[in-house]
Amino acid sequence: MRRGPAPAGRRPVGAAASRGTVRIADADPDRAPLIDPRVLSAPEDVDALVAAVELCRGIGAQPPLRDGWGARELYPASMAATVQLSRDYVRETVVTYHHQVGTCAMGRHEDAVVDPGLRVHGVAGLTVADVSVMPLVTTGNTNAPAALIGERAAEFVLAGAVRVGRHSRKENRGRRTPCPSRSPAHSERP
């Protein structure tokens, strides 16, 4: 195994308090949305990252890592010598994992984008099937929740298609398909 300097990795904030916005720019569907991630807009996120930097510095300074593996700080020690310098360092080096969620609020309330069946309020036949319906990002990768949301959306759409197939189009005009509480596919799982 090669020894020597190596990056310590990312220091994530698993449940960030900062909240950004995604807004429609105007009525032109080809126009890019207005996105403001507002990264580190909540002071507690900065505090959490400063604590993570200090923890990493402390771990790297332990004799087994420092002496045995040659761990050293890649940035000058003075960069994080004080809380203010640590705050500046965190703000200058922050990156996101780009696992943004929560842009399509789910619910029955007036400002919700989708209903519990993932159908967009006021737009017939449009379903949202991605992590934008999750209120908070998971502490793990968003791939598994995305697959689950897609699977549930497919079940909701298929349940609606079966229901629509039993009635004429005229009878179903304007009818909202209730989302099934449990599908047969899920009831077989432990």
Domains of the chain: 21-93 (no CATH), 100-190 (3.50.50.60)
- What is the C-alpha separation between 92 and 137, in angstroms, rounded? 23
Which residues sit opposite 23 in a β-bridge? 34
Say which range, 28-32, 59-63, 70-74, 104-108, has the weakest mean pLDDT: 70-74
Point out the residues that are catalytic: 99
Say which range, 29-33, 56-60, 116-120, 131-135, has the weakest mean pLDDT: 56-60
φ, ψ for residue 93 (rounded to 5)? -115, 5
Residues of the chain with pLDDT > 90: what percent?
Answer: 38
pTM for this predicted structure: 0.63
Do 144 and 153 touch, CB atoms closer than 8 A? no
pLDDT in tens, 62-104: 999 889 888 877 765 554 467 777 888 888 888 887 778 888 9
Do 102 and 74 touch, CB atoms closer than 8 A? no
